[in-house]
Amino acid sequence: MSILVGQDTRIVVQGITGKQGTFHSMQMLEYGSNIVAGVTPGRGGVKFNEAVPVFDAVETAVRELGANTSIIFVPAPGAADAVLEAAASGITLVICITEGVPAMDMIGVLSYLRGSNVRLIGPNCPGAISPASLCRVGIMPSEIHTPGRVGVVSRSGTLTYEAVNALTQFGIGQSTCVGIGGDPLVGTSFVDVLTMFEDDDETEAIVLIGEIGGNSEQEAAAFIKSGGVSKPIVSLIAGQSAPPRKRMGHAGAIVTGKSGTAEEKIRALSEAGTTIAPSVESLGEVMKQVLRGSTA
């Protein structure tokens, strides 16, 4: 087993005929992901890559082809609507890649999803990949991933790729890698993913990659400290050199109070018993040591 995505995942790509949607759908198909349908309103009836049916609405993909997971490449103005459509159509996992979704839209979406059985990952995230089942629902480069027993969860995209690359180079494979997104308002938190990794038989250790801004790393630390996670965790926080009050790319990566600084996050995660990696390159080596320690 992996978490979130795996062999039972039946993907519908929302915005499959757009530039990003087309590129990554091809990549996902090449990797082996089970894309059952695409959706582009107004383009229903065509075939993507001469094989994948494209519909006007998500509900058709759910009803006719049993889609259960959606990945969204719809441009920002329509992204909230795409999430709501997926949720209203019976999709239970929605992965929103789109960057730049207005905060007010996300407030509505998150309020709507609360109490439903629909999980949203993102927006502004790289998605999730479970190498053992060759299931990639995201935009990460496939080739750096290798099956294994370390779960990776991160707020960042390329930094996660570096981290995975570092693990793979040290011969450490991954159960599932999840990017939860760089926006302040996201559907799934560190704590949510940590809970899933804790419950996952195939995950033995966890890499947590945080960054400045907000306090989701502190929430994660508190959760770990309270016994929520028994598996070993290696953590890394980006942005130690970032100045205050400046948005470092991600909408969420801005230090506004003391709790948003890298120092505070590192302190909290260290106090919670996680091992702090000094750099992304060191992750492979640090994890190797941690795994050796936990086995001993």
Partner 1 sequence: MKLHEYQAKSILASYGMPVPRSGVATTPQEARDVARHVGTPAFVKAQVHAGGRGKGGGIKLIESAEQAEDVAASMLGSRLISPQTSLTGAPISIVLVEESLDIEYELYLGIVIDAIAQAPVVIASKAGGMEIEEIALEHPGLILREVVQPTVGFRAYQGRRLAHAMGLPSNLANPVADQMMRLYKAFVDKDCSLVEINPLVITKSGQVMVLDAKMTIDDDAAFRQPDMPSLRDWTQEDILEAKAGQAGLAYVKLDGDVGCLVNGAGLAMATMDAIKASGCFPANFLDVGGGAEPIRVAEAMGIILADPQVKRVLINVFGGIARCDDIAEGIVRSYLDSGKELPLVVRFLGTNKDEGIRILKEAKPDTIFVDYISEATKVLQDITIQ
Which residues are identified as catalytic? 250
Member of 246, 270, 273, 293 binding partner 1 (CB under 8 A)? 246
Helix (H) or strand (E) holding 107: helix 103-113
Q: What minimum distance in Å lies between the beta carbon of 57 and partner 1? A: 6
Interaction of residue 152 with partner 1, rule CB under 8 A: no
Member of 66, 102, 171, 293 binding partner 1 (CB under 8 A)? 102
**Phi, psi dihedrals of residue 127, rounded to the nearest 5°:** 95, -160
Member of 18, 141, 173, 232 binding partner 1 (CB under 8 A)? 141
Interaction of residue 281 with partner 1, rule CB under 8 A: yes
Report residue 129 CA to chain centroid gap: 8
Directed axis angle between helix 283-295 and helix 158-169, to 10°?
A: 60
What torsion, rounded to 10 degrees, do the Cα atoms 237, 241, 243, 246 define?
-50
Member of 13, 35, 82, 180 binding partner 1 (CB under 8 A)? 82
Interaction of residue 20 with partner 1, rule CB under 8 A: yes
Q: Which of 9, 88, 13 minimizes the C-alpha distance to 54?
A: 13
Interaction of residue 145 with partner 1, rule CB under 8 A: no
Interaction of residue 68 with partner 1, rule CB under 8 A: no
Member of 32, 66, 171, 249 binding partner 1 (CB under 8 A)? 249
Helix (H) or strand (E) holding 79: helix 76-88
Q: How many residues bind partner 1 (CB under 8 A)?
A: 81
Tokens of 241: 């050199």
C-alpha gyration radius of the chain:
18
Q: What minimum distance in Å lies between the beta carbon of 45 and partner 1? A: 7
Residues 117-136 that bind partner 1 (CB under 8 A): none
Residues 196-235 that bind partner 1 (CB under 8 A): 209, 211-212, 214-216, 219
Q: What minimum distance in Å lies between the beta carbon of 201 and partner 1? A: 29
Tokens of 202: 């195939």
* Measured distance CA(190)–CA(184) in Å, rounded: 12
Q: What minimum distance in Å lies between the beta carbon of 8 and partner 1? A: 25
* Measured distance CA(147)–CA(123) in Å, rounded: 26
